[in-house]
Amino acid sequence: MNILFIMYDQLRFDYMGCAGHPHLKTPNFDRLAARGLRFTQAHVQSPICGASRMCFYTGRYASSHGAQWNGFPLRVGERTLGDHLRDAGMSCHLIGKTHMVADAEGMARLGLSPDSVIGARQAECGFDPVVRDDGLWGVGPAGAYDRKRSPYNDFLKSRGYPSDNPWADFANAGIVDGQMASGWFTANADKPANIREEDSETPWLTDRCLEFLDTARGPWCAHLSYIKPHWPYIVPAPYHALYGVEHVLPPVRSPAERDDPHPVFRAFMESEIARTFARDEVRAKVIPAYMGLIRQCDDQLGRILDRLDTTGESANTMIVLTSDHGDYLGDHWLGEKDLFHQQSVKVPLIIVDPRPAADGTRGTTCDALVESIDLAATFIETAGAEVPRHIVEGRSLLPFLHGETPETWREVTISEYDYSTTPMRKSLDVAIPDARLFMVFDGRWKLIHAEGGFRPMLFDLQSDPQEVQDRGADPGCAQQVARLRAHLHRWALRSAQRVTRSDAQIEAAQGPEGRVGILRHVFDPGDAPEDFTAAYRGPAPADYTGG
Amino acid sequence: MNILFIMYDQLRFDYMGCAGHPHLKTPNFDRLAARGLRFTQAHVQSPICGASRMCFYTGRYASSHGAQWNGFPLRVGERTLGDHLRDAGMSCHLIGKTHMVADAEGMARLGLSPDSVIGARQAECGFDPVVRDDGLWGVGPAGAYDRKRSPYNDFLKSRGYPSDNPWADFANAGIVDGQMASGWFTANADKPANIREEDSETPWLTDRCLEFLDTARGPWCAHLSYIKPHWPYIVPAPYHALYGVEHVLPPVRSPAERDDPHPVFRAFMESEIARTFARDEVRAKVIPAYMGLIRQCDDQLGRILDRLDTTGESANTMIVLTSDHGDYLGDHWLGEKDLFHQQSVKVPLIIVDPRPAADGTRGTTCDALVESIDLAATFIETAGAEVPRHIVEGRSLLPFLHGETPETWREVTISEYDYSTTPMRKSLDVAIPDARLFMVFDGRWKLIHAEGGFRPMLFDLQSDPQEVQDRGADPGCAQQVARLRAHLHRWALRSAQRVTRSDAQIEAAQGPEGRVGILRHVFDPGDAPEDFTAAYRGPAPADYTGG
């Protein structure tokens, strides 16, 4: 078996045909859904690119691996999916984005050179990169993405785009009356990007994947990780024109949300991003472009599926489709992600297992509470190894794929968000270590706990599926709050760092109790088995005077 | 400033003259107490050698570093006291015991050879070893300590003791009628060890320390880590005869403790160790030997203090005396350590800071709730560096030494114990990840929380200073239980793994909000500062057709 682990960036769970979007057509996403199992309650462990991805790539909660925000390095030595899979005899490749930042201090302290195989794997989050490109090149004075090298930009230059940064000037900008219409300004989202469609980011990465498939020797896992439909919201023709304002769904929001909101929610609603996305004109421009980007992703997926079908590799390739988080798109008066409404924390997840054991679930859906960390466990088990539960906190989804019901399953799903780096931390005047949020969701009730002394937020998705009524201060809900808090506290006390000693090792270390009797403070030699204590009986070798 | 960080193994907080023991004389411990500050509420983060030491050596809670029991390797890359001190320009040396087990899997994965300087530090818990010896050699078929090499055993052989394992056959055995009277059998605890006193473990390690002092170039931190008064309880003449049964204090225990005890407490009371120490004849033999071992430790400390005074080094050497945990010695019907009664979890702690700033506190005591992880923070600050609070969870004790009252201090102290490897886990039929205990102590009330669905234990040390009345099931104490549990839960949610990104880095990364405006989804170019977005304005370089 091989594993093609496809991730889109910022793809909402409900922007797929198979998930019920009334206008967006995604025939190839749907083709996967028809061949596999679609999970309707899949949540990420942190609704922000970097942290979420580190959870996918380690199988561990964000507070377990510690890389809790974009740019926080993953600590040196943290075991990754690649480490686990290679131990199981499966290679592990990267095609695209990871958002990984290497722990340069830790690597230097351990003498690891990024040029060595070991160092490169440490620096690349355990993957062997076919190509790595995180996108978002050349933010200019904002600077955050200026310092890296982009294979995609190199490609564009080789294709003759006349610019130092064709990613910004062509792939993510239109042209109007000879003036640049940059995708960084959402007003330009309706323009076609000034690039040949086949040179844009999604087809480019798809080509890299097809090249990989040409030469790959299994068993392999390939993480095909697209940068889109993440912003800048701009897409080349013909995709820029496939959808219009008539396809923009009304925002999921209510004036009630702005009436005495939770302080943290208020701070996020007051952010510049949120204020932008609260404007109808922004949604009218952005959402059709977002849908066009998704449609392009879908078309490119079709190329890959066609290739796998043609070569027969579909029969021995598990295919996974998911995203690192969603996109508010103006819902709940918010933009981007970060908080825990479904639009942000819930992700699409489709898994196609070609083996006959999965025949019974093809084309069906599964409503179990699934976490993004479950994929690492699923892949490790698919590679034929046992999931090291003292390290990997997720659980294999193979039982669901194979039509089985696990004897026990999690009662709640947990997600976390560290907002210490954001302006909201300052406007809320919260200490850095307290700028953390936790979601506990049982499938109906969703609790959001904020450190720093705030009241809880609570939503009942049964009576309020749109999550617009915060019941956190409702005395009638105190028991639900207490119940979900108890889940949170039990989770918080979990054993997450005993990563050097497995349960099996602990079990094996326990010999029969009698065998360790000598360490049990035996009083008299007669109280202990003679063969066990032979070394401590009998004639003394001599006394120290030689007597 | 240099730091002499002295640790005894299994030294109870109340077995010192300065702590009020009515019979045991410890003039040199007391000499330190007269020169420094004695902390009366110092607790270890886990009452078991290995886990406790890893807390001391990392400044982190046991569940943060994950090495939660003896022999659980400290994960590769975990930052240690030695790493922090070297960064601050202070060398960090080991003389004696650490109980460190290297993360061989992690080191191999990162290509670290134990022979390299970096590899050796990883393997030796961040110390540069002058000499390392963990004691307990040659347990025979029990096996646990057979596989290592003992510099102390090598020394004994060089001194002519005729045995393959003179540690077992001489240093820890007496001789009666030509027969070995092994210290492994507590019935032999009253015999003199069959060894010249100056060759026994404590003087041997003291000699190594004196040699180190002869040549050390500061600033240095030396961890002088004795194996005694840890069992085997046997000591050479004349120390074996200094104390007798008349000096054995009555056990701190009550029949009430055996009346419907908490299931976990019951399981420990039923262990072989506990049954041994519940016998008066065992206490009568063991405790005088334990006191003799301590008295020998005290005499050897005197040699070091004399040397430092003679050379004048006392004036620039911080001296710390502590232990990794206590010893039940039959109190509470228990032997050894493991649980959270004061006899086990509370430790002696004396700090002598020779600087004038500490003059005001010399010879006094401090009742603040102090944790063993505070020492790492204290040492880092003493070395002149700022405590990296995103890594080191303890707090510097220098304010207390300098007569200051910190503005805020912890309200509770936390300790943890993982009993997954013990027979008690099996007798209680608890899953391995649930075999964990947590203590929350506020100076008066002590809550013990056991994972796995057990009721809490609770003691009120004000009305019940001996901790013999478990109030955990008393409805009148429900509020205390809830209050301490809330502390535990807040602690459990702490940010402990964001070790690659400091608070200062997070603070510095937050530029003025306007600077990151381009990432804030600006709608119209007119909404953003022009200089900031210059790269996204102006004439398009060309369209892709070259037009």
Extract the tokens encoding B1.
């400033």
Of B271, B276, B522, the CB nearest to A523: B276
Q: Which residue of chain A is at minimal alpha-carbon distance from B102?
A: A500
* Beta pairing, strands B91-96 & B128-132: parallel
Extract the tokens encoding B536.
């996204």
Residue type, B43: H
CB spacing of A144 vs B519 below 8 angstroms: yes
CB spacing of B537 vs A182 below 8 angstroms: yes
Q: How far apart are CA B276 and CA B268, in angstroms?
A: 12
Contacts of range A146-149, beta carbons closer than 8 Å, 24 or more positions apart = none
Q: Which of A485, A523, A527 to probe the B interface (max B CBs under 10 A)? A: A523
Residues making up chain B, counted from first to last: 547
Of B184, B436, B503, the CB nearest to A495: B436
- Partners of A276 on chain B (C-beta within 8 Å) are 520-523
pLDDT at residue number A514:
43
- Partners of A523 on chain B (C-beta within 8 Å) are 185-187, 276, 279, 281-282, 285
Q: How far is B118 from chain A, CA to nearest CA, in Å?
A: 6
B540 confidence band (pLDDT: 50, 70, 90): confident
The continuous run of DSSP H or E covering A486 comes out as helix A478-492
Residue B166, preceding peptide bond in cis (omega within 30° of 0): no
What residues have CB less than 8 Å from A496, skipping those under 6 apart?
A60, A61, A63, A64, A393, B63, B66
pLDDT at residue number B512:
54
Task: Flag whether pLDDT at B523 surpasses 50.
Answer: yes
Supply the ipTM of this predicted assembly: 0.95
pLDDT at residue number B140:
54
Q: How far is B478 from chain A, CA to nearest CA, in Å?
A: 16
Confirm if B78 and B102 have CB atoms less than 8 A apart: no
Q: Which of B170, B500, B503 to probe the A interface (max A CBs under 10 A)? A: B500
Task: Flag whether pLDDT at B518 surpasses 70.
Answer: no
CB spacing of B522 vs A184 below 8 angstroms: yes
CB spacing of B509 vs A112 below 8 angstroms: no
Of B72, B111, B276, the CB nearest to A498: B72
Give the bridge partners for A317, in sequence order. Answer: A2
For A12, other C-beta atoms within 10 Å of its C-beta total: 26
B148 confidence band (pLDDT: 50, 70, 90): low
pLDDT at residue number A148:
63
Of A187, A509, A539, the CB nearest to B178: A539
| Sign of the four-CA dihedral B77, B80, B84, B86 | negative
CB spacing of A539 vs B492 below 8 angstroms: no
- Partners of A518 on chain B (C-beta within 8 Å) are 139-142, 184
Residue type, A427: S
CB spacing of B432 vs A503 below 8 angstroms: yes
Phi, psi dihedral angles at B436 (to 5 degrees): -135, 140
Q: What is the pLDDT along chain A (547 residues), one digit of tens a residue?
A: 999 999 999 999 999 999 999 999 999 999 999 999 999 999 999 999 999 999 999 999 999 999 999 999 999 999 999 999 999 999 999 999 999 999 999 999 999 998 899 999 999 999 999 999 988 876 554 444 544 678 999 999 999 999 888 999 999 999 999 999 999 899 999 999 999 999 999 999 999 999 999 999 989 999 999 999 999 999 999 999 999 999 999 999 999 999 999 999 999 999 989 999 999 999 999 999 999 999 999 999 999 999 999 999 999 999 999 999 999 999 999 999 999 999 999 999 999 999 999 999 999 999 999 999 999 999 999 999 999 999 999 999 999 999 999 999 999 999 999 999 999 999 999 999 999 999 999 999 999 999 999 999 999 999 999 999 999 999 999 999 999 999 999 999 999 999 999 999 999 877 554 444 456 678 888 887 777 677 788 888 877 766 5
Q: How far is B241 from chain A, CA to nearest CA, in Å?
A: 18
What residues have CB less than 8 Å from A354, skipping those under 6 apart?
A35, A314, A315, A316, A317, A318
Residue whose C-alpha is closest to residue B379's, from B209, B220, B498, B496: B220
- Partners of A492 on chain B (C-beta within 8 Å) are 489, 492-493
Q: How far is A302 from chain B, CA to nearest CA, in Å?
A: 26
Q: Which residue of chain A is at minimal alpha-carbon distance from B121?
A: A110
For A51, other C-beta atoms within 10 Å of its C-beta total: 28
pLDDT, mean over chain B: 94
- Partners of B390 on chain A (C-beta within 8 Å) are 433
For chains A and B, what is the number of CB pairs under 8 angstroms? 341
- Partners of B72 on chain A (C-beta within 8 Å) are 498, 500-501
pLDDT at residue number A126:
96
Q: How far is A383 from chain B, CA to nearest CA, in Å?
A: 19
CB spacing of B500 vs A187 below 8 angstroms: no
For A460: left if phi > 0, alpha if psi spans -120 to 50, otherwise beta; the answer is: beta
Q: Which of B118, B521, B533, B537 to probe the A interface (max A CBs under 10 A)? A: B521
Q: Which tens digits make up the pLDDT trace of B504-513?
A: 999 987 755 4
pLDDT at residue number B208:
98
Task: Flag whether pLDDT at B413 surpasses 60.
Answer: yes
Residue whose C-alpha is closest to residue A480's, from A435, A514, A444: A444
Q: How far apart are CA B329 and CA B341, in angstroms?
A: 12
Q: Which residue of chain B is at minimal alpha-carbon distance from A273?
A: B520
Q: How far is B517 from chain A, CA to nearest CA, in Å?
A: 8
CB spacing of A507 vs B138 below 8 angstroms: no
- Partners of B279 on chain A (C-beta within 8 Å) are 523
- Partners of B423 on chain A (C-beta within 8 Å) are 510, 513
Q: Which of A392, A432, A437, A483 to probe the B interface (max B CBs under 10 A)? A: A432
Of B76, B499, B538, the CB nearest to A179: B538
CB spacing of A140 vs B518 below 8 angstroms: yes
Of B65, B111, B175, the CB nearest to A543: B175
Q: How far is A445 from chain B, CA to nearest CA, in Å?
A: 21
Confidence (pTM): 0.96
